[in-house]
Amino acid sequence: MAEMLTINSEIALAQAQKQLADLWRENKYIEVDVRRKAKQRTLTQNRALHLFCQWLAETLNDAGYDMRRTLRQDVDLPWTQAAVKEHLWRPIQLAMTEKRSTTEITTVEPTDIHAVLSRHLGSRLGITCPDWPKRDQEAA
């Protein structure tokens, strides 16, 4: 009979070790299927992503980098939160994680994606990317 163990703390790890040892002693045979899966990003991280995209849109617009100047010559639009997410964030996310939707990213991936985006905008455009929002920050 297949049984799923979720190990997400030191206590759960100790319990799983005991359970595996007991099963081994009883059966002298165990098959273990280990799946490494980070937790999905939280709703707080999702709000932080949207706030960051808004701040970056404002930063790019204030620096005179409209979408035409930043991406393509045939597009002449100011940056918006949605445009930052779709044209800057998502391509980096997809390249780094192979995940198209932000609902699929883990709790650690936004920090990594932010670092790559910041480095890219700094080296390519000289833009200082906004910091990742803190938990207590809200849209102005």
How do residues 3-36 score in pLDDT, each as one tens digit?
778 787 888 889 989 999 998 899 998 888 877 6
Q: Give the count of domains, the chain.
A: 1
Tell me whether residue 119 is in a domain. Answer: yes
Q: Domain for residue 72, yes or no?
A: yes
| Helix, strand, coil % in the chain, rounded to nearest 5 | 55, 0, 40
Q: Give the mean model confidence (pLDDT) for residues 128-140.
A: 79
Per residue in 56-113, pLDDT (tens digit) is 999 999 998 877 766 666 656 788 999 999 989 999 999 999 999 998 899 889 999 9
- 67, part of any domain: yes
Residues above pLDDT 90, as percent of the chain? 48
Assigned domain for 64 exists: yes
pLDDT at 9: 80
Cα 101 to the center of its chain, rounded Å: 10
Residue 95 domain flag: yes
139 pLDDT more than 60: no
Domain contains 31: no
Q: Give the pair of three-digit tokens for residue 82.
A: 């949605």
Q: Is residue 140 part of a domain?
A: no
The token pair that represents 101 in the structure block? 């939707």
Q: Does the residue 89 lie in any domain?
A: yes
Domain residues for 53?
Answer: 43-125
What percent of the chain is predicted at pLDDT more than 70?
A: 89
What's the rounded Cα separation, in Å, for the pair 49 and 17?
38
